[in-house]
Structure formats: C-alpha cells, structure tokens
Structure 1
Amino acid sequence: MQSPLLTTERLILRSLALEDAPHVLRIRSDDRVNKYLDRPKASSIEDALVFIRKIQAADEGIYWAISLKDNNTLIGTACFWNIVIEKKSGEIGYELHPDYQGKGIMQEAITAVIKYGFETAGFNIITALPSPDNEKSVRLLERNNFVRDINFEYISKEESDNQVGYILKKIPGQ
C-alpha cells in the first residue's frame, strides 16, 4: 500500500521503497532500537527486503519511511497498524535510528502522523503500546497528550501483554 506523502519543516514521510533496504537493516539490526521491541533482529539485506516487500504488499496499515528533507536516506519509520474501522481507531508505532534521537525528529514526525490519523484517516482514538522500560517513548507519548489506558477501556489486558497501553482521543470539533 502506498502511504500518503507527509512533510514537516525538516522531514519527509513517504512510502517505503526497496532502495531503503540498507537503512532498514541498519535500524532493525541495532540492539539499541530492538531493546524494547518484540521482533526478530534483522541480520541481512535479504531480511530487510523481505520486510519491505511485506509492508508494500500489506493493505491493513499505513507505514512511512522518515527522511530528512535534504537527504532521502531513511532514518526512521512511523506507522498506523491494528486499525479497527468500526472503532475508528489505529495503533501508532515508530522507531528512529539512535544517531538521530534527541533532536526532536520523532516529535515532528508523530505530530504529522497524529494529524493525518485524526484529520484524514478518520480516527477518533489512537492507541500506543510502548514498553514500560522505554522511558523516551513514554515521554514522547505523554508530551503528545496520550494518557494511560489504566482501565483497559481501549486496549485489552491480553493485547497489552508486557507493554503499557496509551490512548489519545480526538477532541470533538477539531
């Protein structure tokens, strides 16, 4: 599925391409990135290509490659997945290579992604399931007005597993 092009002051969020394979491998093989994610570590360009092809063939989510405006190199990704049309909800996910962390890049990217989710995709609820140990991710969500789903109103206990459920509700009239 082609992801809609989003732009911010410094970033381009675009569809993932086969040419991104070396950079996907760089992120998905980095222990610092994988520390909080429940997925197999990529170990080859073929692993990256298999992942990209899987994303390109999928039609149940929206997946963006994040790059700087002055350089098309993938530095991170953002996505909506676990989309439930009946509930007008989607789960946000994101990752950023550690060389680019701490520069406000993911803040800028998820601001655009959240805006797209509410204004274009028609979501009323955006969920997130970060690892409770991933303090940077939890802070990012809280900075963007996500709140814990402590009563498991939107994210079931089974769904959350070893993660913490966060939700962001669309403000009526916006």
Structure 2
Amino acid sequence: MTTNPFNPFPILTTEKLLLRKISPDDDQAIYLQRSSPVVNKYIARTPVADITEAQAWIARINNNVDLGLSINWAITLKDSGTFIGLICLWNFSEDRTIAETGYELSPAYHGKGYMNEALQCVLDYGFSKLNLKTITAYTHWENKKSLALLKKIGFIWNEGEIDEGFPHNVIYSISK
C-alpha cells in the first residue's frame, strides 16, 4: 500500500498568495465562482446551481485529496486570506509521473498575475515534491488568457493530441 502524498496537506506560499486546503467555509465563494458565466465561459461543465452543490463539490474534492487521488488548493491572498480561485493537480498517470493541472480565478482577480504565481508554485511542487516528469493542461482554444499563461510559463502545445469528447480543447504540457 502506498502512502498518501497529500497527508499532511501541503500548504504552499508565494510572494502574494497562500494555497491551502479547500474548506467547507469556502462554500459561498466556490458557489459564486463556479456559477459565474465569466469563469465557465471556456469550461464544459454545468454551473453550480446552489450552495448545496458547492458544498457537495467541496466534500467530493476533499475526499479525493484524502484518498491521494488528486489535490486541489484554494488560492487566497496572503495578506487578507481572501479566496480568489482554485488550482489542482489531478488525473495522475498510473505510474504517477504525469498529472494534469486545472485552474480558475474569480473574475475580479483576472489580469493581475495571480494565476501565473499560483501555477508556477504548483508546478514546482509537482516536479520537486511529487517527482512528476510531465504536467499537462487542457484549455479551450479560444481562451487566449489561459493560452498566453501556459506559453509564458513554458508549456508546449501537443499538436495533434485530442481531448476526446471536448473538440474545442487544446492540450499543452511542460516537462521537468
């Protein structure tokens, strides 16, 4: 039996951010974010309909963390503790050398460099602490801000790779 690499939960910090475990107290912020038309514009998912759906999502996500299947962080501002978004590593390969990242940010915090800071931190964690060899990111081909972020950090387009069932997505990856 393998040990859970996410126990204890890894709290990550950057110059401006604290990445922490998602809490049941985040239910209102997660409801607002995951029901936002701006946040969901390029994500093929049904928006969260009410607070109970947000609470169920938090419970499911934290259960997956407890099982060592994936890890999701709440992105918060270090100085105020304000919840501004989510970032994760999930969809690990069987040998746990490849993982997928996903991220979303509340619209009020777009364009301020926060996701660049959070993603750099999560990549460092994935490569240095989890010994990942490759991290992938799937994004809608029209999501120019996400594409620019991935390219700025050094992700490379996996031309020809297809996200089955999501024809508008393109796949990028970065390797150690």
**What TM-score do the two structures reach when normalised by structure 2?**
0.90
Where has structure 1 moved over 2 Å in runs of 4 or more?
Answer: 156-162
Please say if 1:101 is aligned against 2:107. Answer: no
Q: Taking every aligned residue pair, what percent have the same amino acid on both sides?
A: 38
1:38-60 per-residue CA deviation (whole Å, 9 max, x = no partner) reads 11101211111010001011131
1:68 is matched by which residue type in structure 2? L
Among 144, 166, 171, the residue aligned to 1:165: 171
The 1-side partners of 2:99 and 2:165 are apart by 14
**What TM-score do the two structures reach when normalised by structure 1?**
0.91
The 1-side partners of 2:128 and 2:120 are apart by 12
Tell me, which stretches of 5 or more residues in structure 1 are unaligned? Answer: none
Q: Is the 8 A contact 1:23 1:73 kept in 2?
A: no
The 1-side partners of 2:153 and 2:175 are apart by 11
Indicate the residue corresponding to 1:65 in structure 2: 74
Indicate the residue corresponding to 1:79 in structure 2: 88
Among 30, 37, 44, the residue aligned to 2:43: 37
C-alpha change, 1:98 and 1:151, in structure 2 (3 Å) is same
Tell me, which stretches of 5 or more residues in structure 2 are unaligned? Answer: 1-5
Q: Is the 8 A contact 2:48 2:54 kept in 1?
A: yes
Among 124, 138, 143, the residue aligned to 2:147: 138
C-alpha displacement at 1:158, in angstroms? 2.5
C-alpha change, 1:157 and 1:102, in structure 2 (3 Å) is closer
1:98-144 per-residue CA deviation (whole Å, 9 max, x = no partner) reads 10011100000001000001000110000010000100000000001
The 1-side partners of 2:100 and 2:165 are apart by 12
The 2-side partners of 1:40 and 1:122 are apart by 33
1:12 is matched by which residue type in structure 2? L
C-alpha change, 1:5 and 1:87, in structure 2 (3 Å) is closer
The 1-side partners of 2:163 and 2:34 are apart by 27
1:19 is matched by which residue type in structure 2? D
Task: Please identify, of 76-85 and 9-18, the stretch whose mean Cα deviation from structure 2 is larger.
Answer: 76-85
C-alpha displacement at 1:26, in angstroms? 1.0
The 2-side partners of 1:34 and 1:160 are apart by 15
The 2-side partners of 1:160 and 1:114 are apart by 24
Indicate the residue corresponding to 1:10 in structure 2: 16
The 2-side partners of 1:161 and 1:121 are apart by 30
For the aligned residues, what is the CA RMSD? 1.5
Q: How many aligned positions are there?
A: 167
2:108 is matched by which residue type in structure 1? D
C-alpha change, 1:157 and 1:23, in structure 2 (3 Å) is closer
